[in-house]
A and B are shown apart, each in its own frame.
Chain A
Amino acid sequence: MNLDSTQHIARSFDSSAPSCFMVATILLVEDEPVTRTSMAARLKRLGHRVLEAENGQTALEVARRERPDLIIVDWMMPEMDGPTFCETVRRDPAMKSIYILLMTSHDQPAQIAEGLARGADDFLSKAASKQEITARVLAGLRTSRLVRELETTGAQLESSMLLLQTRQAEMEADLQSAAAFVHSLLPPPGIPAPGLALAWEYQPALTLGGDLFGVAPIDADHLGLYILDASGHGVAAALRSASLMTFLRVENMLELIGSYDPAKVLFEANRRFPLSEEGEYFTLWVGQLHVPTGSLSYASAGHHGVLLSPAERPSQWLTRPSSPLGFDQAAVFASDRILLQPADRLFLLSDGIYEASSPTGEPWGRWRFQQAIETQKRSLLATTISHCFTEARRWQEQTDFLDDAAVVGLELTV
């Protein structure tokens, strides 16, 4: 939108500007020659350019072609009278806002009402004095100028609006593209390694989600896992997340530190991803699973969304106090190790799912999540996860989550 032209229009319209300097094109429609000649001469004397027409039909053609600033039309004319002429003009989009003075030799209120109703803007008596003609014509020209400027502004606003809508649609399409790309980087569900099942469900709050996760083989026996949670909102946060996700790629890490040792991965990430200017940060959990033995080593930078659900024991959160990325440049991250047994399940989740609030403001909570997992222990992994989402949605009484909701499930198959 060209803001300058809008401001210019606001400045240039000044209703107090001296109108006697306005030279206008006036169309005079009158069938009677003597009156027409007289009125035309008087209007020309006021300095205006006058076009004459003998009847309504000719006048319409002239008006369309010349776009006069003002039309003065006689009431009584053969074939098309003044009011009919007014109606016809008002129906034409190209001319509908031209100022029309209806000439009358009467002054009856009923006639005036009819004239106004049928499209006249004001009246001019045939016997009007020079002063009266001047006054009515100038008033009409002022209004005409105002209307024209409003129309121009209106047209500009409309085209700006269309432009904005187009741009918005383009941006939304771009976001969809970006989201599709980022989401194509998420691990495909199924069997990432022999003896392991993977299922996940992900619903970002906006088109582009800021909470992301990865499951990828490090080598023939090892699998790298991570889940990250961005604290900010919007596209900027999502972009930063995508950047961290790229950093966490197995190939990248192998090149950088030669392994996917969770504590070392966090150490490197912590150095490279400081707080943003607004104090935004990531929480990150990284794990490395040795599939043949089920040995899982892991480390966390402030991420508390990892739940171990053993086949024969109650579930437990794998959590310890730890600083998110960027909080403490000197942080050293501790590494923990557990042994997964066949049929054990590990869940990585972003907080959007357990922070889902009921209409009264109560979060669904970690405990209810655990219950949902427990009750579905015997179902397929994907079914269990699906059940969690259903329960969370039922709890918050709506489908969409306010914060990114992700649940990744891994199961050591027997």
Chain B
Amino acid sequence: MEITQRAVKDATVLDVKGDLTYSNRAAFKTAVEQVKNRNCLHLIVNLEQVRFLDSSGLGLLVLMSQSFKLQNAKFSLLKPQSYVREIMSLANLPKMIPIYETEGDALTARAA
């Protein structure tokens, strides 16, 4: 799994490529925490290249989103693939974490 970071207007984007699973959890958590510790106001996790998500990955996404909320920062997800989208949907994730189809949408959305 590869994670690359890039800065966009008013936000940081983490592009994740590969699987978000139990074995990769440490790497993902570290990457997100690095961004959080820089007091980033809005983190967008780009899931376009994530093929597979297991319970560990799902739990981490929620955990990270909760910790951003505690910091009054935004945490959004971008372009999940259909399999990943279904998993998240069954867990009612869209109710807790905003999911967008384009970066533009993520950036212009009003705070929840």
Chains A and B in contact, CB within 8 Å: yes
Give, as a whole number of angstroms, the nearest-CB distance from A322 to chain B: 5
B62 pairs with A279, CB closer than 8 A: yes
Distance A327 CA – B55 CA, assembled complex (angstroms): 12
Task: Digitize A324-357: 1 where CB-to-B-CB distance is under 8 Å, 0 elsewhere.
Answer: 1011100100000000000000000000000000
Q: A323-B95, A323-B96, A327-B96 are in contact. Are A275 and B62 (CB under 8 A)?
A: yes
Q: Which residue of B lies closest to A324 (CB)?
A: B91
Instruction: Report B4-60 residues with CB < 8 Å from chain A CB.
Output: 22, 25, 29, 55-56, 58-60
Task: Digitize A294-319: 1 where CB-to-B-CB distance is under 8 Å, 0 elsewhere.
Answer: 00000000101000000000000001
B22, B29, B56, B93: the one within 8 Å of A327 (CB): B93
A231, A302, A304, A331: the one within 8 Å of B56 (CB): A231
B96 pairs with A328, CB closer than 8 A: yes
- A278 / chain B contacts, CB cutoff of 8 Å: 25, 56, 59-60, 63
Is A233 on the interface with B (CB-CB < 8 A)? Answer: yes
A323 pairs with B92, CB closer than 8 A: yes
Is B90 on the interface with A (CB-CB < 8 A)? Answer: yes
Instruction: Report A197-234 residues with CB < 8 Å from chain B CB.
Output: 231-233
Distance A232 CA – B59 CA, assembled complex (angstroms): 10
- Interface of B, secondary structure class, is helix
Is B89 on the interface with A (CB-CB < 8 A)? Answer: yes
Distance A323 CA – B95 CA, assembled complex (angstroms): 9
Is A18 on the interface with B (CB-CB < 8 A)? Answer: no
Q: Which interface class (under 10, 10 to 19, 20 to 34, 35 or more) fits B?
A: 20 to 34
Distance A328 CA – B60 CA, assembled complex (angstroms): 13
Residue tally, chain A, CB below 8 Å to B = 19
Distance A319 CA – B90 CA, assembled complex (angstroms): 9
- Interface of A, secondary structure class, is loop
B90, B93, B95: the one within 8 Å of A304 (CB): B90
Q: A275-B63, A279-B56, A279-B59 are in contact. Are A327 and B25 (CB under 8 A)?
A: no
Distance A122 CA – B90 CA, assembled complex (angstroms): 78
Distance A279 CA – B66 CA, assembled complex (angstroms): 10
- A322 / chain B contacts, CB cutoff of 8 Å: 90-92
- B95 / chain A contacts, CB cutoff of 8 Å: 323, 328, 331
- A233 / chain B contacts, CB cutoff of 8 Å: 22
Is A321 on the interface with B (CB-CB < 8 A)? Answer: yes
Is A281 on the interface with B (CB-CB < 8 A)? Answer: yes
- B25 / chain A contacts, CB cutoff of 8 Å: 278-279
Distance A168 CA – B92 CA, assembled complex (angstroms): 42
* Extra pairs beyond A275-B66, A302-B90, A328-B95 (19, CB < 8 Å): A232-B56, A233-B22, A275-B63, A278-B25, A278-B59, A279-B25, A279-B61, A279-B62, A280-B56, A280-B59, A304-B90, A319-B90, A321-B89, A321-B91, A323-B96, A326-B62, A327-B92, A327-B93, A328-B92
* 16 A-B pairs whose Cβ atoms sit less than 8 Å apart in the complex: A231-B58, A233-B22, A278-B25, A278-B59, A278-B63, A279-B56, A279-B63, A280-B59, A281-B59, A302-B91, A304-B90, A322-B91, A323-B93, A323-B95, A327-B92, A327-B96
Q: Which 5 A-B pairs have the closest CB atoms?
A: A279-B59, A279-B63, A231-B55, A323-B92, A279-B60
